[in-house]
Homo-oligomer: A and B are copies of this chain.
């Protein structure tokens, strides 16, 4: 059996037909329509195309899963709001697509989908699992006993908005000193600019400078990782989860990211020094495919 995953982004809609083991059979990428009202029909068009292209029988598709970048009511299958897509408010996308395709359709926000994707391809399906995405912001998805933690209003897991410096900078959310304000890739770029590394730096270019031996880049990264570590250490103390997985494009830097974080967590978490059962901290395996693969697994959450 196969499932379709759809990952709606502010710029592109990714789609894939995914096998039960997480393997992508075929995928596509289409610009996101400018108008939220066009979204549901666009998704149906994309599904038709990808199914035709793969020569898959529509009857072999068990479910469609959709990830959307905003507030989603998973129970009702409604995209409540997506700040980055105009007019994207209260779209009953699941019932609409189910009616048109006859296939059960499920919805969750993109961070939860990404977490689910990483979880489903983890070595031994961790019982408890925290996924942290470092990007424009710091997003999160928490999976406990195989279930996405959604809270009463599908808004749980906003781990970027825990405070690490209450006397610090104001966050976009209105609060002061949120983790995201210091630990996102946007924050790294701001910090690098302030340190004189140039006005056109990106997360990737800052790491490239470090690898070339640029000492200032190295210092900027180490300082930034100390911010990242604070929130990761908080997650260890709260969840003592089997795994904490770091995602987002920057996670491709691998050990250059996790080495410092692991050291900090080992030294600073509340975990007993003699404890052998410790939270494993690693980078993502699916990178940019986490969302689309995770969406295809939403059927496991019914």
Residues of A within 8 A of B (CB): 71, 80-81, 127-128, 142, 144-145, 147, 149-159, 161-167, 173-175, 177, 227, 230, 233-234, 237-242, 267-272, 275, 277-279
Contact = CB atoms under 8 A, between A and B. Distances in A.
Nearest to A142: B238
Given A173-B270, A175-B268, A270-B158, A234 B163 contact: yes
Contacts of A177: 165
Of the candidates A159, A161, A166, A279, the one having the most CB atoms from chain B within 10 angstroms of its own CB is: A166
Contacts of A234: 161-163
A contacts with B: majority SS = loop
Contacts of A157: 238
Given A164-B163, A165-B165, A234-B163, A241 B272 contact: no
In the complex, the count of this chain's copies comes to 2
Given A162-B238, A237-B158, A277 B152 contact: yes
Contact of A152 (B233, B238, B242): B242
Nearest to A275: B153
A277 B239 contact: no
A239 B153 CA distance: 10
A240 B156 contact: yes
Contacts of A128: 149, 151-152, 156
10 contacts: A128-B156, A145-B147, A151-B279, A153-B240, A156-B239, A156-B240, A156-B241, A161-B234, A165-B165, A174-B268
